[in-house]
Chain A
Amino acid sequence: MKTFRDTGLLFQRYTLQMLRNPVWLFVGFSTPILYLALFTPMLKHIAPTLGVRGGGVLEIFLPGILSLLAFASGSSMGFSTIFELQAGVIERFRVTPASRFAILVGPILSGLMMMMVFDAVVVAIAVGLGFQVHWLGLAVLAVLLSLLASLMASFSTATALVTKDISSFAAIINGINLPILLLAGVLLPISFGPAWMRVVAHFNPLYYSVQASRSLAVGSFGSPAVWQGFAVLGPLCVLVVYWATRVFKKAVA
């Protein structure tokens, strides 16, 4: 009960902070829109190669963008953790009896809500460009993306708490992000790649998310990619949230 209440309070706080930071909102909105505006036009020409009709490229590209958004919004969470750590905010919360789980999860949930807003905008724009919405598929996709974003946000926050300074944190996160992104087939399906890439991708959680997203976006729930996506991301998310809460409980000297 107390955990719920504390989570609510810290969710509210974080949301308010974000809404009062217009620069952040601007970047949050412009990133996915730029992807759609500047990348989709190029895809039209390779549509035949992809085996889809003109408007259909979005069926491949949009789920990738949504996964990318979830991944990026989650993994950037640690930057605000570092900032709050250095401003003494986290210490101020840690010395209150507030639940440690709530201190971690409040901001993560707030980030999820923001992500959903951005996602909605992106989907709306994609519809304007000819994307055909599959409502139930999108709903299930939202759940999958929440798992991915929570997983990444917990990982990022815990990493921030451990490294404590912006330069080492940024080095680690960027170092990990790039290979994960490239080996997940976010922008183009990994099936275009050579055999070794396809093999390596199977060790990449983001790959499962992207594959599942593509199936869900067109409403093919029966595709094995869907259950595989949940089977990989679900347990992994629980594990990482558990680890991050432990990091929070332990001293952050």
Chain B
Amino acid sequence: MPDAIAWFADIGIDDRPIAGGKGASLGELTRAGIAVPPGFVVTTCAFDQFLAALEARAPIRARIEACDPDDLAAVTALSRELRRRVEEEAMPAEVEDALLAAHRTLSGDARTPVAVRSSATTEDAADASFAGLQDTFLWVIDAADLVARVRECWGSLYSVESITYRRRQSFPEAGVAMAVVVQQMVDARAAGVMFTRSPTTGDKSVVTIEGAWGLGSAVVSGDVTPDHWVLGKITGEISVREISDKHVEHCPLARGGIEERAVPDERRHAPCLDDATLQVLREIGRRVERHYGAAQDIEWAVDRDGAVLLLQSRPETIWSTKPVAPVAESLANPLGHVMGVFGGRR
């Protein structure tokens, strides 16, 4: 049986079935030499062992397959019951030992806080976003807390939305599994997202960057209006620079977890990134895009020393799935094209 734990350096994008999309992508980035906070994946093998023990006590998968997705009350009751069972069931000893050993290695004597994030295996973007949307736990310090958070991530497979979606699509439960990413936490000075093409026009010649003060969760959750920049992907020229009023930021708590704080006045209207860092981000975006050969949707953070780290990169899905029309009609005689200007059809 494969290992319960897989370090980023040892996995790649093809390991999605055991590491989930997020985990496999972080492995791939690590291997490609892109700076990501170090970490490991609690693989689906660990989940499978855990679920087998749970199933042995009382059925889970059969219950889901039997439920009617249109009966919201029934699904809600089932979800509540199954999530409670997942969160209360002890981990198999060998899984827990491996997890705690890996955590000691990652966190070290400094007890570096970690992020715990669900990493769905499904190829289905909609499903992936249901299972795991809320299941990112930041600034986890305590080992026992870590174990509980991993179980919560597993339990997210049984959220009302996730169950309903799978039943509506008639997915077999047998293939459903969840990996969990455990990663050193970046004490972000600023964080946000980057698209390596324009989200509004689909233009592949620009990179769009959005960011705000503090941890990236403030941007992803929509708690703050981020600063917004558009850069020429090739030229680096900054064509759009919208500095917003960033009234709050997400900050870590010493005891673990995060809180929302008001941003002091002197920083509220100041850009959260300088031009040099924007250019570093652009270069990283181009590298990742070249690595995958496709436009990317990236989460990034800048640590207290100013280093840029990627927290996630996934293929851009809105524009890349649209049919592409030719820019202009192909003509044997290039002079025909000037009629577009001189013919008055502008």
Chains A and B form a bound pair: no
**Residues of A participating in the B interface, judged by any CB pair closer than 8 Å:** none
